[in-house]
């Protein structure tokens, strides 16, 4: 799956996801750091990339309904240290076919994955 890591996601997460076969770029890679949520999501849509973020706003289905974007993976982690972020993302990628999450809004915690699919 093609993924875009938001600026609030450690860039250390990129290489493990690439090693699992995913095409990953980051908001800093594209000089989008500090840009609005709308700009970041527009770039993700343009590149057909699911956005991985901590930004709770992207989890609002009224503002960003499933199916209106290539996918949003919202991390809701108590521990946001890079090692834990990498571990959780690796677990998500190893235990779910990320391609099946295209267009979905996915909320991920250390223990749970909730998937809201397009209607």
Q: Over the stretch 15-56, which tens digit does the pLDDT of each residue have?
A: 999 999 999 999 999 999 999 999 999 999 999 999 999 999
Map residue 26 onto helix, strand or coil. strand
Q: Over the stretch 61-80, which tens digit does the pLDDT of each residue have?
A: 999 999 999 999 999 999 99
Q: Against a cut of 0.85, is the pTM above it?
A: yes
Per-residue DSSP letter, 77 = -
Map residue 5 onto helix, strand or coil. strand
Per-residue DSSP letter, 51 = E
> Residue 30: which domain range?
2-116
Place of tokens 């991985």: 52
The per-residue pLDDT for 119 is 86
DSSP H helices in the chain: 14-19, 37-46, 82-95
Domain count, the chain: 1
Q: At CA 29, angle to CA 90 and CA 40, rounded to 5?
A: 85
């Amino acid at each position: 799956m093609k993924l875009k890591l938001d600026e609030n996601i450690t860039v250390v997460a990129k290489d493990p996801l690439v090693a699992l076969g995913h095409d990953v770029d980051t908001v800093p890679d594209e000089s989008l750091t500090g840009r609005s949520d709308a700009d970041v999501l527009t770039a993700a849509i343009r590149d057909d990339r699911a956005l991985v973020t901590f930004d709770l706003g992207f989890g609002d289905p009224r503002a960003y309904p499933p199916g209106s974007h290539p996918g949003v993976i919202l991390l809701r982690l108590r521990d946001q240290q890079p090692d834990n972020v990498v571990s959780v993302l690796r677990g998500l990628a190893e235990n779910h076919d990320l391609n099946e999450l295209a267009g979905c809004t996915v909320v991920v915690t250390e223990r749970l994955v909730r998937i809201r699919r397009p209607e």
